[in-house]
């Protein structure tokens, strides 16, 4: 656990930033503080505020400027409290008011099977028809509906890997910054001063996202998908490695909650299968996602990593239907935790629904901008994306030099590509290899070590193969 920093010092830094019209350099913050602190200490404080979302940073080094982030706190709030940036309903406020009571005051509760039993697909809804329609309008990707499953997610894959891996990990208390996460995913570079478990958590998210997108046609709300999704997300994180990808055989507790999950393995398995069958029978992708985000953590089917599985599983219907994924960008951790506790202790989904709708609309806006910046996708490249990934991967993993790669591309293309596309595909593959660098290898499922070994055998001269 990171060392706790004095809240009064963090609040003073926030106040100093706001005093500079909401944006300031580290030097300007230092000058505005009433009590001076060492420069290195200030840097640590600023980094913590950025990592927790209370400040956002533009630029780097001495030129970096800091401004209030999406999770900035109000002055005068209790230490650790977050400004609820998400508009919530009166019903959600009731849930939060209940949860503000100490756990000793709240009523202990166990798992209520009727919460699951009472949900009837097609008749029960967490989201209203108006809400589902609005989300469908903002989540559609132009032209992607007729494309194979996973097309839209692949188009924004590089951004999605970083955004969703960071935000989902952040909601678990991971202290990596967004920049640290990008460096870890794209270059395999672990951030200094952070534990190995934090890096493992982020890399597991990356692998889980790739698992969903690469298997878009086959995934669903079934045992294969959810058990393997857990196995990827929990890889190297559980004390008992036998529990990875396996339903829970032990009792668990929920920190800070009066909720006591099921403890009987047979009942856990029975409810798990019922949960999946119910989710699979829901036809609306947004209702499906919201249902899984509520019911899967509530059941706690795994020893740990349940909420992470639910957040990634919520993207299954979006990946399959070529809708914008949900990346949980800017969702305050405290508000999300309250939303989950509201389900655990009260079986109420209003706050979780508010969080889900806000998060999805924010993700849709972000990735619409990403698509606009990328332009319309190349239809030839889209049609041959799997073949291109396989070919480039073969060349790199076999550590082919320029001459060997040219011969292999010619032979491979003749065997695997339609005659009318051979020349265009061969040219595309050659150009892709010449342009390959550390920041573009993830889409080919090439690891940094493999790329480095290939570079030793490859001349990076700016010319054709």
> pLDDT, tens digit, for every residue of 382-400?
788 889 999 999 999 999 9
Average pLDDT over residues 151-170: 86
Between 31 and 465, name the one with better pLDDT: 31
pLDDT of residue 142: 56
23-25 β-sheet, strand order: 23-25, 65-68, 55-58
Indicate the pLDDT class of residue 186, thresholds 50, 70 and 90. confident
Report d(CA 276, CA 271) in Å as an integer.
9
pLDDT of residue 106: 94
Instruction: Give yes or no for a contact between 139 and 187, defined as CB atoms under 8 angstroms apart.
Output: no
Same domain, 346 and 393: no
> Which residue, of 354, 374, 394, is where some domain finishes?
374
Same domain, 363 and 384: no
- The answer to which of 207-216, 242-251, 360-369 has the lowest mean pLDDT is 360-369
Q: What is the CATH number of the domain that holds 52?
A: 1.10.10.10
Cβ-based neighbours of 339, under 8 Å, separated by 6 or more: 95, 351, 352, 354, 355
Same domain, 294 and 205: yes
Question: To the nearest whole number, what is the mean pLDDT of the chain?
Answer: 86
Report d(CA 98, CA 214) in Å as an integer.
42
Same domain, 28 and 120: no
pLDDT digits (tens, 9 = 90+) for 121-132: 999 999 999 999
53's tokens? 């979302």
Please check the confidence at residue 248 and state whether its pLDDT lies above 50: yes
Give the 3-state secondary structure of residue 138: helix
> Is 429 a member of any domain?
yes
Same domain, 307 and 432: no
pLDDT of residue 74: 36
Same domain, 448 and 347: no
For the chain, what is the domain count?
Answer: 3
Average pLDDT over residues 328-352: 96
The DSSP call for residue 67 is E
Report d(CA 113, CA 456) in Å as an integer.
59
Cβ neighbour number for residue 6 with a 10 Å cutoff: 10
What are the residues facing 23 on neighbouring strands? 67
pTM assigned to the model: 0.67
| Residue given tokens 């999805």 in the structure block | 360
Strands (E), 182-330: 259-260
pLDDT digits (tens, 9 = 90+) for 432-453: 888 888 777 887 888 888 888 8
Please check the confidence at residue 214 and state whether its pLDDT lies above 50: yes
Nearest-CA neighbor of 267 among 245, 243, 288, 251?
251
Which strand (E) or helix (H) includes residue 258? none
> Is 365 a member of any domain?
yes
> Is 465 a member of any domain?
no
pLDDT of residue 143: 53
Same domain, 256 and 298: yes
- What are the helix (H) ranges across 5-88? 7-19, 26-32, 39-51
Question: How far separated are the first and last CA of the chain, in Å rounded?
Answer: 51
pLDDT of residue 2: 43
Same domain, 187 and 313: yes
Instruction: Give yes or no for a contact between 141 and 371, defined as CB atoms under 8 angstroms apart.
Output: yes
Neighbour-count burial of 295, counting CB atoms closer than 10 A to its CB (0-12 exposed, 13-18 middle, 19+ buried) = buried
pLDDT digits (tens, 9 = 90+) for 11-26: 888 888 877 655 788 8
pLDDT digits (tens, 9 = 90+) for 62-92: 667 787 765 543 333 433 344 446 889 999 9
pLDDT of residue 81: 42
Which strand (E) or helix (H) includes residue 68? strand 65-68
Task: Give the residue numbers spanning the domain of 425.
Answer: 379-456
303's tokens? 């020893």
Nearest-CA neighbor of 175 among 1, 432, 425, 389?
1
pLDDT of residue 441: 84
Same domain, 361 and 395: no
> Is 138 a member of any domain?
yes
Q: What is the CATH number of the domain that holds 257?
A: 1.10.3290.10
Same domain, 316 and 345: yes
Indicate the pLDDT class of residue 33, thresholds 50, 70 and 90. confident
The angle formed by the CA atoms of residues 333, 150 and 238, to the nearest 5 degrees, is 45
> Which residue, of 349, 374, 399, is where some domain finishes?
374
Same domain, 211 and 334: yes
123's tokens? 């008749």
Biggest distance spanned by C-alpha atoms of the chain: 73
């Amino acid at each position: 656990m990171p060392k706790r920093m004095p809240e009064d010092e963090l609040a003073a830094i926030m106040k100093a930033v706001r005093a500079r019209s909401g944006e300031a350099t580290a030097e300007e913050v230092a000058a505005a503080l009433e009590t001076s602190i060492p420069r290195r200490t200030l840097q640590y404080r600023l980094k913590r505020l950025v990592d927790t979302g209370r400040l956002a940073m533009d630029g780097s080094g001495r030129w970096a400027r800091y401004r209030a982030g999406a999770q900035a706190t109000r002055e005068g709030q209790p230490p650790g409290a977050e400004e609820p940036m998400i508009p919530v309903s009166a019903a959600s406020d009731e849930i939060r008011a209940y949860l503000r009571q100490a756990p000793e005051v709240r009523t202990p509760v166990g798992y209520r099977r009727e919460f699951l039993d009472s949900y009837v697909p097609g008749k029960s809804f967490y989201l209203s028809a108006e809400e589902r329609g609005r989300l469908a309008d903002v989540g559609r990707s132009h032209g992607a509906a007729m494309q194979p499953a996973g097309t839209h997610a692949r188009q924004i894959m590089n951004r999605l890997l970083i955004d969703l891996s960071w935000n989902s990990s952040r909601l678990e208390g991971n202290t990596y910054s967004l920049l640290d996460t990008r460096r870890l995913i794209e270059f395999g570079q672990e951030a200094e001063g952070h534990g190995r478990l934090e890096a493992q958590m982020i890399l597991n998210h990356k692998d889980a996202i790739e698992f969903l997108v690469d298997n878009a046609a086959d995934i669903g709300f079934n045992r294969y998908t959810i058990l393997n999704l857990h196995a990827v997300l929990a890889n190297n994180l559980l004390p008992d490695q036998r529990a990875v990808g396996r339903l829970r055989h032990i009792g668990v507790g929920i920190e800070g909650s009066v909720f006591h999950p099921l403890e009987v393995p047979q009942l856990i398995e029975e409810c798990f299968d019922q949960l999946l069958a119910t989710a699979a029978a829901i036809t609306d992708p947004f209702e499906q996602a919201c249902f899984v985000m509520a019911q899967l953590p509530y059941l706690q089917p795994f020893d740990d990593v349940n909420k992470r599985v639910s957040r990634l599983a919520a993207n299954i219907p979006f990946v399959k239907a070529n809708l914008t994924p949900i990346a949980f960008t800017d969702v305050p951790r405290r508000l999300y935790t309250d939303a989950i506790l509201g389900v655990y202790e009260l079986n109420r989904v209003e706050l979780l629904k508010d969080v889900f709708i806000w998060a999805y609309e924010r993700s849709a806006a972000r990735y619409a901008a990403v698509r606009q910046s990328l332009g319309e996708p190349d239809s030839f490249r889209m049609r041959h994306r799997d073949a291109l990934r396989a070919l480039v991967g073969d060349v790199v993993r076999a550590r082919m030099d320029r001459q060997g790669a040219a011969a292999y591309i010619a032979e491979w293309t003749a065997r695997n590509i339609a005659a009318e596309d051979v020349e265009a595909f061969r040219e595309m593959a050659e150009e892709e290899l010449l342009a390959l660098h550390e920041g573009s290898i993830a889409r080919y499922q090439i690891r940094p070590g493999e790329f480095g070994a290939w570079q030793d055998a490859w001349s990076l001269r700016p010319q054709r193969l």
